Structure 1
Amino acid sequence: MAGKKINMAGNQTTGSSVQNVRAVTRALVVLNSFAGKDLQTLAEVSSVTGLDKGTTRRLLLTLMQSNYIAQDPLTHHYRLGRAIRDLASNVGDTQDLRAIAQPALVELASEFSVTTFLSIFKEGAAVCLDRVHDMRGLEVHWWQVGGTLPLNCGGAPKLLLAYQPDEEIERLISQPMEKLSEKSITSKKELRKRLALIREQGWECAIDDVALGLTALAVPVFDNENHPVCAISIAGLTPQLIKNGKPVHLKRLQEVAKRIRSQLGYHQP
């Protein structure tokens, strides 16, 4: 026997084993009525949703209690509330970003026998989204997927920090800095100088500042406003990555970053 579902009007229809909860369905209809609109009156929401005003008002008041809807105190018009914004901030494109970037991470790891990383700046931290290791090289364990690193250490963390607004940088470097190795930068003055250099050259090469003998090279992937969407980085033994004091794989890493930028739908500068 076919299952039953309840439509928005409360009628039972056949053809699905899923049962819709009418109150939830109506609440979603109310929320969806604000698409493309800043403010609505009670009458406008009622008209768009097809619900009577009494039902519409009860739904709006219920949604207001959970901050999904807010009401202007002067006009009494309704708008989407803070909870919607908070939820939206967590709906990222990280899955698409990982899917697009992973072939490049695998390619780089295999080509240079290193560990490759994809990372983003989120809520004041550098977060690792993905990590790929080539079995022929040394596996770098110090940044787990989903984990963070101190912003004053490593290639990608410093790179991502360098492109944040000045006030955010000052807020973050005003906090105590961790010292992961004797080469870690813990001076605010020195870190500011390093961040300025990163912005000037467009990449970061971190030698020994997470662990002695290891180097990380990081480049940004920019959006159309030249804000970093993410960082692509490689890490391995210093002799693998540095020759005559210079990073040997920088051009290749920059090529990959440009390719990912195009694949994400951003135009090239």
Structure 2
Amino acid sequence: MASASEDRIAKLPPGVPIVRALDRAIALLRAFRPEQPRLGLSELSRLVGLDKGTTRRLLQTLQLNELVEHNEHSQTYALAVGLMELGSAVPTGRELRDIAGPYLTEIAEKTGATSFLWVHIAGRGLCVDRVRASLPHVDATWFSVGAQAPLNCGGGPRVILAFLDEAQRRVALSLELPKRAPASQTDPALLRREADRIRAQGWELAMDDFFIGLTGLGVPIFDRSGALAGALSISSLTSIVAPEGKPVHLDALRDAAARIGARILPG
């Protein structure tokens, strides 16, 4: 099976030169995950398919540029603050995040659930902001800011799938669609029908499809021209989000999404 790096290289026009050292350094950065923020040299070498000597030299260069840090006590590496500085310059979702921030906090406090803000990027949902309630009802591993999610699971991602145009939806359904829980839907034909249902309904209640016992509720956000700008969602215990299978915070989410969208100028 081809690596993610090889897949990206295959999509480039013929004759475009590849800087292998840079490609390998990027692969090292991508090896870190929210659930694995610190990794040792041996594990990093294995994950990127490089010998330890090459991996060490690349890590030293990244460390010199404050993109990676090294813990002498644990002999592990982690991403460093230099990446946060680079991330602050990323324009994707910035306007939406700046406008929606206060509303996410309001929704989290009002519902007692974690609130999320999503945008579409290359067939996936990108989490551009997240706010946990001050007294959360559940402690789980949520999507972190900057993480990408396939569009088959979760209230926010499934809403985005529903409001994509046909070409974008085709791309989304051609990507890997993981089965995170027994209720996760992975069949593209079924997801296409579900997307049509969600679009007609105008919101999505995703129960047990990410974690058993948790439910997500998502609504779309449209800019002033009516174009899809992103999605707003909450997630928590099913008893908090949808007791008896009915969403209890739908009006609050719709109201917040409308207020956010009213402030977003057409792109």
TM-score (norm 2): 0.62
Q: Which residue of 1 aligns with 2:144?
A: 144
Mapped partners of 1:170, 1:123: distance in 2: 11
Mapped partners of 1:175, 1:93: distance in 2: 21
Mapped partners of 1:122, 1:141: distance in 2: 22
Q: CA deviation at 1:92?
A: 3.6
Code of the aligned partner of 1:216: G
**1:59-98 correspondence to structure 2 within 5 Å:** 92=91, 94-98=93-97
Q: Which residue of 1 aligns with 2:111?
A: 112
- Cα distance 1:96–1:223, how it changes in 2: closer, same or farther (>3 A)? closer
Q: Which residue of 1 aligns with 2:128?
A: 129
Q: Give the secondary-structure state (helix, strand or coil) at the position aligned to 1:192.
A: helix
Mapped partners of 1:222, 1:140: distance in 2: 29
Residues 177-225 of structure 1: per-residue CA shift (max 9 Å, x gap): 2111111001122211110111101111110101101111111111244
Residues 102-146 of structure 1: per-residue CA shift (max 9 Å, x gap): 111111111111100011001222000011001311244321100
Mapped partners of 1:213, 1:98: distance in 2: 29
Q: Which residue of 2 aligns with 1:206?
A: 206
Code of the aligned partner of 2:257: A
Conserved 8 A contact 2:119-2:229: yes
Q: Which residue of 2 aligns with 1:54?
A: none
Mapped partners of 1:248, 1:174: distance in 2: 33
Mapped partners of 1:196, 1:240: distance in 2: 27
Q: CA deviation at 1:91?
A: 6.8
Conserved 8 A contact 1:159-1:218: yes
Q: CA deviation at 1:265?
A: 4.4
Mapped partners of 1:265, 1:176: distance in 2: 33
Q: Which runs of 5+ in 2 are unaligned?
A: 1-88
Pick 1 or 2: higher relative contact order, CA cutoff 8 A, min separation 6: 2
Code of the aligned partner of 2:114: T
TM-score (norm 1): 0.62
Q: Which residue of 1 aligns with 2:256?
A: 256
Q: Give the secondary-structure state (helix, strand or coil) at the position aligned to 1:263.
A: coil
Code of the aligned partner of 1:131: R
- Cα distance 1:127–1:175, how it changes in 2: closer, same or farther (>3 A)? closer
Code of the aligned partner of 2:161: L
Code of the aligned partner of 2:102: P
Mapped partners of 1:181, 1:164: distance in 2: 24
Mapped partners of 2:262, 2:92: distance in 1: 15
Q: Does 1:169 align with 2:169?
A: yes
Conserved 8 A contact 1:241-1:247: yes
Segment drifting more, 221-230 vs 186-195 = 221-230
Q: Which residue of 2 aligns with 1:228?
A: 228
Q: Which of structure 1's runs of 4+ aligned residues deviate more than 6 A?
A: none
Question: Root-mean-square deviation (CA), in Å?
Answer: 1.8
Conserved 8 A contact 1:163-1:227: no
Q: Quick one: percent identity of the two aligned structures?
A: 38
Q: Give the secondary-structure state (helix, strand or coil) at the position aligned to 2:262.
A: helix
Conserved 8 A contact 2:216-2:233: yes
How many equivalent residue pairs? 177
